[in-house]
């Protein structure tokens, strides 16, 4: 039986390459790891860096293949970000704030 894809509220924005809407889910400070940048950034800096990544590597698709709990309120997601020439490893860590998932770590790296 095929595995059901895992849906998250921010995944659609990642798959569309919409950094601004992804930023709506970012914590005030976020750990970002991309092929060209790595570090801790403010929400606004992270949106600008992610936007540049999306311009360089427009998404064909983004899928979550596995998820798990790091603690009661922290969840991690592992998947793939597909570009026309590359498939990147996707790793996202979130924490719950009320009924929202807040991203505090986003990694899109070469496999």
Note down pLDDT in tens along the chain; length 111 residues. Answer: 444 456 688 999 999 999 999 999 999 999 999 998 999 999 999 999 999 999 999 999 999 999 999 888 899 999 999 999 999 999 999 998 888 889 999 999 998
Helix (H) or strand (E) segment spanning residue 60: strand 59-69
Question: What is the pTM assigned to this prediction?
Answer: 0.91
**Does any domain span residue 52?**
yes
Farthest CA pair distance, the chain? 42
What per-residue confidence (pLDDT) applies to 2?
43
What is the domain extent for residue 81? Answer: 11-110
Picking from 7, 27, 28, 10, the residue whose alpha carbon sits closest to that of residue 19 is 10
Number of domains comprising the chain = 1
- CATH code of the domain in which 51 resides: 3.10.450.50
């Amino acid at each position: 039986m095929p595995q059901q894809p895992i849906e998250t509220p921010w995944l659609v924005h990642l798959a569309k390459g919409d950094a601004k809407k992804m930023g709506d889910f970012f914590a005030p400070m976020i750990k970002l790891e991309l092929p060209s940048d790595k570090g801790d950034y403010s929400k606004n800096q992270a949106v600008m860096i992610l936007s540049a990544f999306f311009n360089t590597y427009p998404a064909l698709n983004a899928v979550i293949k596995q998820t798990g709990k790091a603690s009661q309120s922290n969840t991690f997601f592992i998947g793939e970000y597909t570009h026309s020439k590359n498939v990147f490893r996707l790793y996202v860590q979130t924490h719950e704030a009320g009924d929202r998932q807040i991203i505090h770590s986003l990694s899109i790296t070469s496999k």
